[in-house]
């Protein structure tokens, strides 16, 4: 995408919450991302769409430096959170991952109680006072729209929950450390339609407090829940803008072909 196109993108509420400038990522000799520049607004849902292997999940993981865990990954360009370069040498990566939480494709509850799952992050960051932990657990489960369903069985194993409940528990676990940003990598792909609807409703509610970036293969989901959408193809950001424009009046023929199901 050209710089001119980037400048035309409307970003509400002043400065971008997240931003990339000329971002490239290589795995050894393979280039997974090519010169990606975009600005993601605060307290909005931004969807990343595109066919499998196009780089959208790799791009998402750049925002909390999860790609650092891959020995062959090499990043150049800039990635900013509130205008701060998150790839600078002196950055505390554990603190970054507290501010930028990740919800994965499949629910991943720990083999412990519902309470201990949610309290895990605060305890890891030094919280020990029982009353404070109780408050955090309840607040986080309420924030994930799960409290009313589990409040009487808080010591029950998290593995006994349904798939949709486990995914909401995963979200509660992220909320417990009070992040600024929620990254969601196909969070509904393993769920049935009813559970998917609950997660989508939850995302819309959470948008009031958090910046949310979601990777999805579900075009209907992207059009339902997001305000901004970016279309990736072969590691390039082909088009980015208000979701209604991407789906109803895209500027690039490749975007139009993809959202209308002609490939992918």
CATH code where residue 43 lies: 3.40.50.300
What is the reported pLDDT for 190? 87
**pLDDT in 10s for each residue of the chain, 264 residues:** 333 343 444 444 567 999 999 999 999 999 999 999 999 999 999 999 999 999 999 999 999 999 999 999 999 999 999 999 999 999 999 999 999 999 999 999 999 999 999 999 999 989 999 999 999 999 999 999 999 999 999 999 999 999 999 999 999 999 999 999 999 999 999 899 999 999 999 999 999 999 999 999 999 999 999 999 999 999 999 999 999 999 999 999 999 999 999 887
Q: What is the pTM assigned to this prediction?
A: 0.91
Contacts of 57 (CB under 8 A, 6+ apart): 185, 186, 215
Task: Tell me if 39 is assigned to some domain.
Answer: yes
What is the reported pLDDT for 163? 94
Task: Tell me if 226 is assigned to some domain.
Answer: yes
Task: Tell me if 147 is assigned to some domain.
Answer: yes
What is the reported pLDDT for 173? 97
Are 235 and 32 within 8 A, CB to CB?
Answer: yes
Are 155 and 98 within 8 A, CB to CB?
Answer: no
CB neighbours of residue 160 within 10 Å: 12
- What confidence tens digit (pLDDT) does each residue in 139-171 have? 999 999 999 999 999 999 999 999 999 999 999
What is the reported pLDDT for 14? 60
**Count of domains for the chain:** 1
Are 58 and 50 within 8 A, CB to CB?
Answer: no
Q: In terms of residue numbers, what domain contains 104?
A: 3-259
Task: Tell me if 35 is assigned to some domain.
Answer: yes
Task: Tell me if 144 is assigned to some domain.
Answer: yes
Are 22 and 181 within 8 A, CB to CB?
Answer: no
Task: Tell me if 165 is assigned to some domain.
Answer: yes
What is the reported pLDDT for 135? 97
What is the reported pLDDT for 15? 75
Task: Tell me if 73 is assigned to some domain.
Answer: yes
Task: Tell me if 264 is assigned to some domain.
Answer: no
Contacts of 111 (CB under 8 A, 6+ apart): 157, 158, 159
- What confidence tens digit (pLDDT) does each residue in 35-59 have? 999 999 999 999 999 999 999 999 9
């Amino acid at each position: 995408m050209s710089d001119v196109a980037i400048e035309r993108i409307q970003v509400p509420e002043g400065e971008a919450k997240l931003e990339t400038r000329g971002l490239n990522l290589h795995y050894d000799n393979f280039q997974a991302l090519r010169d990606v520049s975009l600005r993601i607004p605060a307290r909005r849902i931004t969807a990343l769409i595109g066919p499998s292997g196009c780089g959208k999940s790799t791009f998402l993981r750049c925002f909390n430096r999860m790609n650092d865990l891959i020995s062959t990954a090499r990043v150049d360009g800039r990635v900013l959170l509130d205008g701060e370069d998150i790839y600078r040498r002196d950055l505390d990566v554990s603190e970054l991952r507290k501010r930028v939480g990740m919800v994965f494709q499949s629910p991943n509850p720990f083999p412990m109680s519902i309470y201990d799952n949610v309290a895990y992050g605060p305890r890891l960051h030094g919280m020990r006072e029982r009353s404070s932990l109780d408050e955090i657990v309840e607040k986080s489960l309420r924030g994930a729209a799960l409290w009313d369903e589990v409040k009487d069985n808080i010591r029950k194993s998290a593995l006994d929950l349904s798939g949709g409940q486990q995914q909401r528990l995963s979200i509660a676990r992220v909320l417990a450390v009070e992040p600024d940003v929620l990254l969601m990598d196909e969070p509904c792909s393993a769920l049935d339609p009813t559970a998917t609807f609950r997660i989508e409703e939850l995302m819309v509610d959470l948008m009031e407090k958090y910046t949310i970036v979601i990777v999805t293969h579900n075009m209907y989901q992207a059009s339902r829940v997001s305000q901004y959408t970016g279309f990736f193809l072969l590691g390039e950001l082909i088009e980015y803008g208000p979701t209604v424009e991407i789906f109803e009046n895209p500027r690039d023929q490749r975007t139009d072909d993809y959202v209308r199901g002609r490939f992918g």
